[in-house]
Structure 1
Amino acid sequence: MVFGESSSDALADVIPSIIDTHIHQWDPLTTPRESSSVARVYRILPAVGDRLFRLRNQADREFALTPRNLLRAYRPRDYLADVVAVEGATGVPIGSAVHIEAGWHSSEELGPAGETHWIDELPFGEGRSPSLGAIVGHADPRDPHVADLLDAHIRAASRSPFRGIRSMAARHPDPRVRDWTDEDHALTSASFLRGFAAVAERGLSFEAWVYSHQMSDVVRLAREYPEVTIVLDHYATPVGVFGPMGSRTGHTAADRADIYARWRDGIAEVASCPNVVAKHSGLAFPFLGYGHQASGNIGSQATLTDMMAPLIDHTTDVFGPDRVMFGSNYPIDKPNASVVMIVGTLLDVLTPRGPDLLRKVFRDNAIRVYRLDA
């Protein structure tokens, strides 16, 4: 179904409001970001900023597709604009969102807690804006000061609860696919596993974002710390499954079929760990291979549904109805699909499974995992 007035009403009959478990907020002009210097140029001379972006390395271009979303502020009012009516369609009834750390750039030991404080002060819940259900901040368990940083995060969240951390571990053997950590198998290094005890002691969750060939690292971490809820982001991104990426990833149909087959096996192994929960997020993530071809890959909700249905179905099958949640991954997915399209695709695939599953995916599981105020 194309998400419109009828599907919005039907969804509202099942769920009073949706919880989006994966959004990002930033402002590179007023807060410390890796992109802050380029953002200042872009603000004054957007055309020059576009040219600078095109000159950046292939890995950055394929991740972002356009500099627009990364170099401009994205705050509650911007998110609200993306979830209300788009191109004549009825808006998505999102009532609450979970912010996931978004590249705060600080060299100080407790610097990442500055993002939590900044997010906590944003005007969520004002007017029609969704409320802020929870904050997930950045912390690297390999850091010897990680316990102090976790406590600083918790103190900084005075209005909205601090519920977990993310330390991105995605790293790819293709040299032209962007890496997000400085070592292979970061999640299973001795220093990471040792420092992760501080996460467990504070009852925090951990957001695991890895590429699909790294899922065995998530399995080992989950088995080392069965008391910690681990949230698998973005289907453990199978880079290039829908189109060419980097210098050699997903460049042939046979390669893409192999990426998908290995992903199926890997995510089933992750799902065997009862403390891991998966997000239906990153449905339009550029890393999947979208948007790099002249014709584009998506274009319509029907196409997005056709491409993503096997991943959505398999993830739901192996994790079961109590361990899957919705996340828009906005604004990272914005170049390829609207929030309306993303939610519509999930409805296309999951509605035949019944209203109980929809309630769990779009609301109930998020309340339990992030311990939200229902």
Structure 2
Amino acid sequence: MAATAIGIIKDEAGCAVDWIFIMTAMGGIHIPRYPIIRHEWLSLLTEEPIEPDLPIIDPHHHLWDHTGARYMFDDLMADLNTGHNILATVYAQAYAMYRSDGPEALRPIGEIEFANGAGAMSASGIYGPARACAGIIGFVDLRLGTAVDDALQAAVAAGNGRLKAIRHITAWDRDISIRGTASQAVPNMLADPAFRQGFSQLANHDLTFDAFLYHTQLDELTDLAQSFPDTHIVLDHAGTPLGVGRFMDKRAEVLTDWKRSIDRLATCPNVSVKLGGFAMKNCGFQLDQSPLPPSSEYLAEIWSPFVDHCIGRFGPSRCMFESNFPVDKGFVSYGVLWNAFKRMAKSYDQKEKQRLFSGTANQIYRLGLDACAP
């Protein structure tokens, strides 16, 4: 998808947001907002890895090559080689490398083919011991009706055994500064009969569903999980507790509402949660506004209320730490981020840490890594 224009999104008050969006030659906006990665700024703070031997599976990262925002295989491998023991990663869909022609419903299959190629490169061992893209979270439009099954079959075939889940982004808010103009989500999508018809086919293909939405939509996800108890769901980014727009300066109120919804969702045994993504602009921590990048101590301090509550409700066997790179790279370096997660997990025993950092991801995404088996 060749980029034809780059712009700056403004919020409801007309203030510029420093994330870029990209208009594509395919028409419309198909690419989400990206933070500006300032490598020199990130290099101002480095840390020695904590517990460097602890096995890690990073269950959520992206790769893309867009004008103004590039993060490809070599960039990922460089981040993985920062002193932490990264065994494998899971690629998460991000509207990258779609096919430029063919049936519209099958164009997203190009992203799965791309991620599978990256996985094959990594599996060669030439680029190091970590197995990048060992699992893939792809995209198929679940509102395709009877055509969903054909699209899912094509997706599974393209993944060559690596496709483990489908993510159909449903994050929506009435405030454009929150959802962004890149969003293709609509209100109440999880309750849409057409969406649910497609969702019902995931279990037939042994596919998990990754859910990216905002904390205001968590109860909608609970209803979906209760309606489809045989389909496993992974909540991305702990439900994205918002801290911008009308939620700015309302951290305590958001935390209370978020906890209430998380408590309900945690009663669904078919739901797991990824702990991460808190650095995103939407969460409102404004980590890029300081002269120096944040330290792992500071990140552990401000994110612990969310992480501790999730682990307390879901348990380590249904929680997994995630990098959400390169989105979060606009605010924190890879090594410091994993140090922050390790600080937040310091009170757990080795078996619990094993689940949080590798075991849960290995099990949920069926990666088959013996070293990470519970």
TM-score relative to the length of structure 2: 0.79
Cα distance in 2 for residues equivalent to 1:24 and 1:175? 23
Partner of 1:237: 240
Q: 1:333 deviation in Å?
A: 0.2
Cα distance, 1:285–1:186 mapped onto 2, change above 3 Å? same
Q: How does 1:128-167 map to 2 (within 5 A)?
A: 128=128, 130-131=130-131, 132-144=133-145, 145-158=147-160, 160-167=161-168
- Consecutive unaligned residues of structure 2, counting only runs of 5 or more, are 1-45, 370-374
Cα distance in 1 for residues equivalent to 2:135 and 2:176? 35
Aligned length: 312
Q: What residue identity is the alignment partner of 1:195?
A: G
TM-score relative to the length of structure 1: 0.79
1:4 paired with 2:5, answer no
Partner of 2:65: 27
The structure that is strand-richer by fraction is: 2
Q: What residue identity is the alignment partner of 2:343?
A: D
- Consecutive unaligned residues of structure 1, counting only runs of 5 or more, are 29-38, 40-66, 86-90
Cα distance, 1:262–1:100 mapped onto 2, change above 3 Å? same
What whole-Å deviation, never above 9, does each CA across 1:229-256 have from its counterpart, x for those lacking one?
100000100110xxxx23x331x3xx22
Cα distance in 2 for residues equivalent to 1:298 and 1:174? 28
Q: How does 1:121-270 map to 2 (within 5 A)?
A: 121-122=117-118, 123-125=121-123, 126-128=126-128, 130-131=130-131, 132-144=133-145, 145-158=147-160, 160-179=161-180, 180-240=183-243, 245-246=244-245, 248-250=246-248, 252=249, 255-270=250-265
What whole-Å deviation, never above 9, does each CA across 1:77-133 have from its counterpart, x for those lacking one?
211212323xxxxx2211100001111356712111111111111222432162132
Cα distance in 2 for residues equivalent to 1:208 and 1:266? 15
Q: How does 1:1-374 map to 2 (within 5 A)?
A: 4=48, 7-9=50-52, 12=53, 15=54, 17-28=55-66, 39=67, 67=68, 71-72=69-70, 74-85=71-82, 91-104=83-96, 105=98, 108-122=104-118, 123-125=121-123, 126-128=126-128, 130-131=130-131, 132-144=133-145, 145-158=147-160, 160-179=161-180, 180-240=183-243, 245-246=244-245, 248-250=246-248, 252=249, 255-291=250-286, 294-295=289-290, 299-374=294-369
What whole-Å deviation, never above 9, does each CA across 1:311-338 have from its counterpart, x for those lacking one?
1100000001210012110000001111
Q: 1:293 deviation in Å?
A: 7.3
Aligned-residue Cα RMSD (Å) equals 2.0
- Are the counterparts in 2 of residues 283 and 342 from structure 1 also a CA contact under 8 Å? no
Cα distance in 1 for residues equivalent to 2:289 and 2:117? 41
Cα distance in 2 for residues equivalent to 1:182 and 1:273? 24
Cα distance in 1 for residues equivalent to 2:196 and 2:104? 22
Cα distance in 2 for residues equivalent to 1:314 and 1:93? 26
Cα distance in 1 for residues equivalent to 2:218 and 2:233? 12
Cα distance in 1 for residues equivalent to 2:134 and 2:115? 11
Deviating more after overlay: 125-134 vs 162-171: 125-134
- Are the counterparts in 1 of residues 169 and 185 from structure 2 also a CA contact under 8 Å? no
